[in-house]
Structure 1
Amino acid sequence: MLQTGDTLGKIAGEKAGILKRGIPAFTVQQPEEAMCVLEDKASNLNVDLQVVPPLDVNLLNGQKLGLEGEHQYVNAGLAIALSFTWLKRTGHLELANQDHTDSLPEQFIKGLTAASFQGRAQIVPDQYVDSEKDGDLVFYLDGAHSPESMEICAKWFSGAVKGEHQSDKAKPQVSSSTHQLKKNIMQILLFNCMTVRDPELLLPQLMKTCASQDVYFKKALFAPNMSVYHKVGTHALPSAVPEADLSWQLTLQRVWDNTMQKDKGREAKQVNHVAEEMKDDTGKGGGSHESSSVVFPSLPLAIKWLRDTVRQNQSVRLQVLVTGSLHLVGDVLKLIRK
């Protein structure tokens, strides 16, 4: 099922299909439209529907969640409630009867801090780039296909790149060699989404949220998902792929460019002297070295362009946000791993 509805109420109605008569259920705080639907479905099935609060960070005893993002504390609270209920139903009373409002079992803390979810708030430095002699290339991967999830993604990305910048500023410069000099840091977007999604809702939300954190994209790249056309390998990037229909990617590009034009004054202030280092020499797709976006006929070509850029410019660090379709995120993960 590609989509569960075009309103929160319809989506909640589909999600409520998991409810089973007489079986307890848990949710987190929802918008009123969605909560009313969930409560109505639960009432009809005699389901005890409980609203779970976010995890109190103090219960982690100074440790951090394994998953990045403030919203993960909401998910963690839900996971804890579900786990305690399962323990009770399966007779593990020594753990289930603990008061988890003041403390958590050691096993819970271990699980929460060790949890990982590939493609969600994941940071992957490109291992195919030699940072000792080339520029730096780092991928920030977080699938998002709704305005709400896109806002969360943008907040995470902005916080991550700003945190890295502050960390770099605090490091002493002990060498004058090229790879240890301060890098020109630029944020790049690599995006695609399914045609059932509305880019008019996704891309402006991403740009607005990042801009509110003083994070601006130097260029946006659009490419079709590789998994649509053939199986993605984990090593060499194929030199050629079947001809792809790029009409959707060109639509995404137009939405991005139009959004940029509406905010042209603010974006213009972010242009710096490394503009020429970001030129598009692919010869395919829309865009030029002066444009804010480019369409690539394939995902491998987009990644090749990113790698070529940092290999040709030792002073550049590209921070690439890969978002939108989870298929895109998965394809990129496969392509950048050795």
Structure 2
Amino acid sequence: MEIVKSTMTPYKEALNCLSSLIIPRTRADASTIRFDLMFDYLKILELEGPVSQLNVIHVAGTKGKGSTCTFVESILRNCGFRTGLFTSPHLIDVRERFKIDGVEISQEKFLTNFWWCWNRLREKTNDDVPMPFHVCFLALLAFKIFSVEKVDVAILEVGLGGKYDATNVVKAPIVCGISSLGYDHMEILGNTLGQIAGEKAGIFKQEVPAYTVPQPEEAMSVLRDQASHLSIPLRVVSPLDTEILKDQQLGLHGEHQYLNAGLAIALSKSWLQRTGHEESIFLNNTQNTLPEQFVRGLTMANLPGRAQIISDPSFEQLVFYLDGAHTPESLEVCGKWFSSVVREETQSAKSCKSEQILLFTCLSVRDPRLLLPPLVNSCASHGIRFTRALFVLNQSAYNMFGAHATTQDEPQVDVSWQLTLQKVWDNLIHGGKGKKQEELNTAKGDESSSVFPSLPLALNWLRENAQRNKSIRSQVLVTGSLHLVGDVLRLIKK
């Protein structure tokens, strides 16, 4: 019998294996049973010792934890340390989650470590200890990569919650941080800020310093109680003073990033102090100045998909403003950032007309009635109003691990959720005089909103619109979902 060899590349094969570990995300994902299995996986992979030797900075939060981790990594890398950064989610390629010295890991190193973990887990797991969920596998892979690469510091962003997150198997981090808290993933973490704060505070450990930013009192009281229970001080840090950077700008844009930068500075200082490196960095600095290495780190930090601006390669006048905001609070901040950038660009090019278009989607577990008003009101308060809103599927034809896309139209695409978003939008904009939910727009005439069955179709419409109106600068805000932001980036770069 003839044996047919697979034409699949080793990398694609690894991505398919990862995809096989995906399960629907429910409250069961955060169960203690699944979290306890992480310790079994560490034993199988013989990673207990290596993980205990990592000098970890652990960060949880609702908003800004990825930005905080990015600032920390950049600061400590500029201080001369070999850094490992583990974040989620990725935008285009899963390797974005694993950075060594600020650069995503190569395919070769990814595959070497991936198959090392995969083969051992496939051999040793059973009915009692099954293969890990994909989020658990990715955390295990990060531990393996950072151990092999012998990083000086491992910065770990919590994926979801904190107490039962896969990264929380680290028993003795050097320092912990909690970024801004808000309402998100309530189907898993709880319906109140207090419950959400309790899950986030699950990363606190005895004898490990903890830092946070100003929080709503309901959340802050829970964080304080948890810290007190562990007999550790909880320090609340202030936003970075804009004067400290003088004429330089943070590498991550938006006023809210000064709060994340303040937390990152505190975490970096604590890590340097507790690892015996503080004196060498701060030796010749006065009390009110930051070391040069810190300033470089803050100004050179880079995080795609957050307050990112990119022009379409085919049409210079078509510009995308990308931000993965997906909570009421972060969408309000996103609107403020978008408005400020649009106003600045308008002032610098007074002769050029412009229009603002919204490209939006969100998960069906989120309430668009809570998400869209803060965005619209924030923009409107700064004089920015969208001429049209486009609603697309939350995920295009790409899968979450970076497989290739297809632009073929799906004949049976369910757009009921996007029609719901459209109805909320039309009611918001037209004061309850919106279109019927069952009506599917086709982006014609002067309609103020449209639904598209695929992201490529929406991008095609934007490009055709730019072609028809060459004298107008189309400023497209892409927000509501990091998956959407990643898909737009991937399509633009193609």
Letter in 2 for 1:223: V
Which of 293, 301, 307 is the equivalent residue of 2:463?
Answer: 307
The Cα offsets for residues 128-176 of structure 1, whole Å up to 9 and x where unpaired, read as: 22x3xxxx1000011112111111000000001011000112xxxxxxx
- Equivalent positions of 1:289-304 (< 5 A) are 289-304=445-460
Q: Would you say 1:19 and 2:204 are equivalent positions?
A: yes
Question: SS at 2:345's partner residue?
Answer: helix
CA contact 1:192–1:225 (8 Å) conserved in 2: yes
Change over 3 Å in CA distance of 1:145–1:239 after alignment to 2: same
Q: Would you say 1:52 and 2:240 are equivalent positions?
A: no
CA contact 1:229–1:242 (8 Å) conserved in 2: no
CA contact 2:332–2:375 (8 Å) conserved in 1: yes
CA distance in 1, matches of 2:284, 2:477: 41
Root-mean-square deviation (CA), in Å? 2.4
Q: Would you say 1:334 and 2:493 are equivalent positions?
A: no
Which of 295, 299, 321 is the equivalent residue of 1:113?
Answer: 299
**1:91 CA drift (Å):** 1.2
Change over 3 Å in CA distance of 1:263–1:245 after alignment to 2: closer
**1:60 CA drift (Å):** 1.3
Q: Would you say 1:63 and 2:248 are equivalent positions?
A: yes
Query: Which residue matches 2:104?
Result: none
Q: Would you say 1:37 and 2:206 are equivalent positions?
A: no
Query: Which residue matches 1:246?
Result: 415
- Equivalent positions of 1:161-240 (< 5 A) are 161-169=342-350, 182-227=351-396, 230=399, 238-240=407-409
**1:320 CA drift (Å):** 0.3
Q: Would you say 1:72 and 2:257 are equivalent positions?
A: yes
Which of 280, 293, 300 is the equivalent residue of 1:94?
Answer: 280
Change over 3 Å in CA distance of 1:19–1:117 after alignment to 2: same
**1:235 CA drift (Å):** 9.4
Question: SS at 2:288's partner residue?
Answer: coil
TM-score, structure 1 length as denominator? 0.83
Query: Which residue matches 1:256?
Result: 425
Query: Which residue matches 2:113?
Result: none
Letter in 2 for 1:148: E
CA distance in 2, matches of 1:191, 1:128: 22
Structure ranking higher on relative contact order (CA contacts 8 Å, 6+ apart): 1
Could you tell me which runs of 5 or more consecutive residues in structure 2 were left unpaired when the two chains were aligned: 1-159, 161-184, 434-438
CA distance in 1, matches of 2:441, 2:399: 20
Q: Would you say 1:152 and 2:339 are equivalent positions?
A: no
**1:335 CA drift (Å):** 1.0
Question: SS at 2:387's partner residue?
Answer: strand
Letter in 2 for 1:330: G
| Higher mean C-alpha deviation, range 74-83 or range 3-12 | 3-12
CA distance in 1, matches of 2:402, 2:266: 40
The Cα offsets for residues 107-135 of structure 1, whole Å up to 9 and x where unpaired, read as: 10001001111111111111122x3xxxx
Question: SS at 1:186's partner residue?
Answer: strand
CA distance in 2, matches of 1:201, 1:142: 18
CA contact 2:319–2:474 (8 Å) conserved in 1: yes
Query: Which residue matches 1:139?
Result: 320
CA distance in 1, matches of 2:223, 2:286: 26
CA distance in 2, matches of 1:236, 1:34: 41
Question: SS at 1:291's partner residue?
Answer: coil
Query: Which residue matches 1:8?
Result: 193
TM-score, structure 2 length as denominator? 0.58
Question: SS at 1:335's partner residue?
Answer: helix
Letter in 2 for 1:291: E
**1:313 CA drift (Å):** 1.9
CA contact 2:312–2:319 (8 Å) conserved in 1: yes
Question: SS at 2:429's partner residue?
Answer: helix
Letter in 2 for 1:187: Q
Could you tell me which runs of 5 or more consecutive residues in structure 1 were left unpaired when the two chains were aligned: 170-181, 265-282
Question: SS at 2:349's partner residue?
Answer: helix
CA contact 2:361–2:418 (8 Å) conserved in 1: yes
CA distance in 2, matches of 1:304, 1:234: 21
Question: SS at 1:40's partner residue?
Answer: helix
Change over 3 Å in CA distance of 1:263–1:68 after alignment to 2: farther
CA distance in 1, matches of 2:419, 2:429: 15
CA distance in 1, matches of 2:428, 2:325: 19
**1:205 CA drift (Å):** 1.3
CA contact 2:392–2:453 (8 Å) conserved in 1: yes
CA distance in 2, matches of 1:200, 1:227: 23
Question: SS at 1:217's partner residue?
Answer: coil
The Cα offsets for residues 54-108 of structure 1, whole Å up to 9 and x where unpaired, read as: 1112221321111111111111010000001111111112225676741111110
CA distance in 2, matches of 1:233, 1:239: 18
CA contact 1:232–1:334 (8 Å) conserved in 2: no
**1:228 CA drift (Å):** 6.2
Alignment size in residue pairs: 303
CA contact 2:441–2:449 (8 Å) conserved in 1: no
The Cα offsets for residues 11-48 of structure 1, whole Å up to 9 and x where unpaired, read as: 21111111112210000011111111110111111121
Change over 3 Å in CA distance of 1:99–1:241 after alignment to 2: farther
Letter in 2 for 1:37: V
Query: Which residue matches 1:278?
Result: none
